[in-house]
Amino acid sequence: MRLLRPISSFAIFIMALAFSGAALAQTATIPQSSFVASGAVNAPDFPVTATVGRLSPESALATYERGLKEQTTALAGYTATSVIDAELPDSAQKAEFELKRHYVAPGVLEFTPVRSSGDKFVKSNVIVRLLQSEVEHVRKREQSQTAIDSDNYKFNYKGASQVNGTPVHVFEVKPRQKRVGLFKGKIYVDSSSGRLLRAEGRIAKSPSFFIKNIDFVQDYSTVDGLTLLTHIHSEAQTRLVGKAVVDITDRDYQPEFAGANDARFQTVAAVDGSN
């Protein structure tokens, strides 16, 4: 089982940086920028053994953790569609961006704008900063620092529940260090397969004085046998612009496997908030 994007709180780390930028740059504009990341990216596998019946909490967590420790060798890249909705409720400012996301191993990341609408400030100072932060995070190879694993977290079993009708084991997670990008909250692991279905909580450490806290929910789905991050809802309380809400939906994943196409994607696309 191959995982296209690492199971981590990386998305929340990106949110934190984006909201921090928005708070600090209320009157700033973002010029047209090229967003490309290069370098090796650790993209772990997430192997799941077909299981009849229910795994014990210990077995489900062990299956989940084994998947995080394995490197993918089959993945050459992927394309997907990302839709980002951002809103500042206190000022009734909102915007939406739709983009094509293209990743090619070992670490080329490109965003191609499809359409955008809404408030220019929100587009430039929240959405575009979010994209810039994601590329920078990949470039610095920081995925292992935010992975939801026993190196970064302590797990405490909290009982059984359901996520969208699927039985799950619920684990409380507490970061071993108070570090930006980690969170305190819960994860929900499929009790039959060991797949991660949801992570939720609050960031452990604010990246900026201007950010009071960030709460989030991340949902994962199985697409063509792959465990993929499909939706993030995040709400931040800032000191300058009030509440900030961001929803990111990823869909239409198209994985590319090693050997299927040896070409490497090297072009550079720009994303800005001018449309």
Residue 181 has pLDDT above 90, yes or no: no
Per-residue pLDDT at 187 exceeds 80: yes
Q: pTM of the entire structure?
A: 0.77
Question: Quick one: pLDDT at residue 260?
Answer: 55
More confident residue, 12 or 6: 12
In this model, does residue 263 exceed pLDDT 70? Answer: no
Q: What is the pLDDT of residues 60-77, one digit of tens each?
A: 999 888 866 653 556 677
Separation between Cα atoms, residue 260 and residue 74, nearest integer Å: 10
User: What pLDDT score does 131 carry?
Assistant: 85
By CB atoms closer than 10 A (0-12, 13-18, 19+), residue 94 is: middle
pLDDT in tens, 117-168: 999 999 988 888 888 877 776 666 566 778 888 999 999 999 999 999 999 9
What pLDDT, on the 0 to 100 scale, is given for residue 261?
45
Would you state the pLDDT for residue 240? 83
Residue 95: what pLDDT?
A: 97
Domain limits of the chain? Answer: 10-253
With 60 as the cut, is the pLDDT of residue 40 above it?
A: no
Which of 164, 58, 68, 129 has its CA nearest to residue 273? 129
Q: Could you report the per-residue pLDDT of 205-226, keeping only the tens digit for each?
A: 877 777 888 999 999 987 776 6
Is the pLDDT at 47 greater than 80? The verdict is no
217: Cα within 13 Å, side-chain hemisphere:
8
Query: Higher confidence at residue 190 or residue 77?
Result: 190
In sequence order, the β-bridge partners of residue 95 are 86, 118
- Average pLDDT, integer, range 5-24: 51
Confidence of residue 87 (pLDDT cuts 50, 70, 90): very high
In three-state secondary structure terms, 181 is: coil
Paired tokens of 271: 């994303």
pLDDT tens profile 48-63: 444 447 999 999 999 8
What's the pLDDT score for residue 116? 95
Residue 234 has pLDDT above 70, yes or no: yes
Least-confidence region, from 18-27, 91-100, 159-168: 18-27
100 three-state secondary structure: strand
Q: What is the pLDDT of residue 38?
A: 44
Q: How confident is the model at residue 27 (pLDDT cuts 50, 70, 90)?
A: very low
Q: What percent of the chain has pLDDT over 70?
A: 67
> In this predicted structure, what is the pLDDT of residue 16?
55
* Residues 6 or more apart whose Cβ sits within 8 Å of residue 167: 54, 160, 161, 190, 191, 192
Short-list 226, 244, 271, CA closest to 18: 244
